[in-house]
């Protein structure tokens, strides 16, 4: 199968997954709570208020009609109006998404090479002291939740040493890069949490490759150990990390929500918390749909990249 057929097939599959995701979002947000209008208004709303809200949200029409309208609107760029902010949702999401993308991009840029380096090194020193130390550090990395790491870093770097600001509250007019210092602590927090999983999987994959026959052949034919590792082991060990990094993007999105809350960073994650705690249904369903779409896209890209580099999977 050619690569293009594979890509087309995966694209179609992603579209189906997204359709399913949109249905799940709609069912959970609009159908599960029973009456959305009274959920938004709370228990002490008058029947008139509820009726007005029902009218405003178009709740008097059947659910499948509302779903189709929502999807049709979302595809055409009409993402609805926020209930709390009284603004169109689309530009809000776009600005916040840009901010979050900067945070996520910087994190991947720092965390992925670092994790791969640590994983490869641990795999080569398997069972010995460096391996144990890396295992311990990465275990602690995953075991402390993002909000604990964030607060610890704030105490150390913002309060004790006074090097960095404790929060990343920005002037909305400023571009994200205008104050680089604000980004250091959030990125460091995300990196701590991201490191563990990727480095452990890289280690496992390195160990597996080192036990393969072609490595023994390479050693037996007398080339140096350095060449064996760099030319033969590493390219094969790094292939699975593509998929691992893509899987990690889902984890990273959850982490972003928490880290943005810790540092008051104006990103998509904090907007989602805002939408949930204010019961802002139009904003919530669009934010979640956009995030799921990005996750889906990341997986698609990883699959295509993997298939491109490893023709065996294009079955």
Partner 1 sequence: MNTASPESTAASAPTPPRMGIVRRTFALFGITGWRGSPDMIVGGIFLLVHITLVLVGALITPYPYTEFHMSDTLKPPSLQYWFGTDHYGRDVFSRVVYGAHGTLLLSAAATALGVGLGVAIGMTVGYKGGRLDEIVMRIMDGLLSFPSLLLAMLIMSSLGPSKINVVIAIMIVFVPRSTRVLRSVTLGLKNLEFVEAAKVRGESTFYVITRELLPNAAGPIVVEVAIRLSFAILLSTSLGFIGIGVQPPEPDWGLMVSEGRQFLQTAPWLMFFPALAISTAVIGANLFGDGVGTRLAYRGGRSDL
In whole angstroms, the minimum distance from the beta carbon of 96 to partner 1 comes to 15
Q: Is 288 left (phi over 0), alpha (psi -120 to 50) or beta?
A: alpha
Does 155 engage in binding with partner 1 (CB under 8 A)? yes
Does 145 engage in binding with partner 1 (CB under 8 A)? yes
Does 151 engage in binding with partner 1 (CB under 8 A)? yes
Closer to partner 1 by CB, 99 or 285: give it.
285
Closer to partner 1 by CB, 232 or 270: give it.
270
Q: Confirm if 182 and 175 have CB atoms less than 8 A apart.
A: no
Task: Please choose, out of 68-76, 142-150, 170-178, 212-220, the segment that lies near partner 1 by the rule CB under 8 A.
Answer: 142-150
Q: Please, what is the Cα angle at 242 between 217 and 286, to 5 degrees? A: 170
Among residues 162, 154, 146, 175, which one has the least CA distance to residue 252? 146
**216 Cβ partners below 8 Å, 6+ apart?**
none
Does 291 engage in binding with partner 1 (CB under 8 A)? yes
Considering only residues 27 to 56 of the shown chain, the ones binding partner 1 according to CB under 8 A are 28-29, 32-33, 39
Does 311 engage in binding with partner 1 (CB under 8 A)? no
Closer to partner 1 by CB, 102 or 148: give it.
148
In whole angstroms, the minimum distance from the beta carbon of 246 to partner 1 comes to 12
In whole angstroms, the minimum distance from the beta carbon of 119 to partner 1 comes to 14
Beta bridge partners of 81: 88
For residue 94, what are its two tokens? 């776009």
CA 251, CA 295: separation in Å to the nearest integer? 10
* Residue 171: φ, ψ to 5°: -70, 125
Closer to partner 1 by CB, 144 or 305: give it.
144
For 81, which DSSP code? Answer: B
CA 116, CA 232: separation in Å to the nearest integer? 16
* Residue 310: φ, ψ to 5°: -135, 85
Closer to partner 1 by CB, 132 or 181: give it.
132
In whole angstroms, the minimum distance from the beta carbon of 281 to partner 1 comes to 8
Does 235 engage in binding with partner 1 (CB under 8 A)? no
**209 Cβ partners below 8 Å, 6+ apart?**
215, 233, 236, 237
In whole angstroms, the minimum distance from the beta carbon of 2 to partner 1 comes to 25
Contact flags string 104-133 toward partner 1, x per CB under 8 A: ----------------------xx----x-
For residue 311, what are its two tokens? 């023709």
Assign 88 to helix, strand or coil: strand
Does 215 engage in binding with partner 1 (CB under 8 A)? no
**160 Cβ partners below 8 Å, 6+ apart?**
none
Positions touching partner 1 (CB under 8 A) are: 17-18, 20-21, 23-25, 28-29, 32-33, 39, 126-127, 132, 135, 139-140, 142-148, 151-152, 154-155, 159, 166, 207, 250-251, 253-255, 257-258, 261, 272-273, 275-277, 279, 284, 288, 291-292, 295-296, 299
């Amino acid at each position: 199968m050619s690569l293009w057929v594979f890509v087309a097939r995966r694209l179609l599959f992603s579209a189906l997954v997204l359709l399913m995701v949109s249905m799940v979002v709609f069912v959970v947000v609009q159908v599960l709570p029973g009456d959305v209008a009274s959920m938004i208004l709370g228990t002490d709303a008058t029947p008139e208020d509820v009726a007005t809200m029902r009218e405003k949200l178009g709740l008097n029409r059947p659910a499948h009609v509302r779903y189709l309208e929502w999807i049709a609107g979302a595809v055409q760029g009409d993402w609805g109006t926020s209930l709390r902010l009284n603004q169109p949702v689309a530009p809000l999401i776009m600005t916040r998404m840009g901010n979050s993308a900067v945070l996520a991009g910087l994190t991947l840029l720092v965390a992925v090479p670092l994790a791969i380096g640590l994983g490869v090194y641990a795999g080569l020193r398997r069972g010995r002291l460096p391996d144990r130390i890396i295992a311990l550090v990465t275990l602690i990395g995953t075991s402390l939740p993002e909000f604990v790491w964030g607060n610890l870093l704030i105490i150390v770097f913002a309060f004790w040493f006074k090097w960095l600001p404790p929060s990343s509250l920005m002037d909305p007019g400023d571009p994200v890069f205008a104050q680089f210092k604000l980004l250091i602590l959030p990125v460091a927090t995300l990196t701590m949490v991201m490191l563990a999983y990727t480095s452990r999987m890289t280690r496992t994959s390195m160990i597996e490759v080192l036990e393969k026959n072609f490595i023994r052949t390479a050693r037996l034919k007398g080339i140096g150990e350095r060449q064996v590792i760099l030319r033969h082991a590493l390219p094969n060990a790094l292939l699975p990390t593509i998929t691992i990094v893509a899987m990690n993007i889902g984890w990273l999105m959850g982490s972003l929500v928490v880290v943005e809350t810790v540092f008051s960073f104006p990103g998509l994650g904090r907007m989602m918390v805002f939408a949930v705690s204010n019961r802002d249904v139009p904003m919530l369903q669009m934010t979640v749909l956009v995030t799921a779409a990005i996750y889906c896209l990341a997986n698609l890209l990883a699959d295509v990249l993997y298939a491109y580099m490893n023709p065996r999977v294009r079955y």
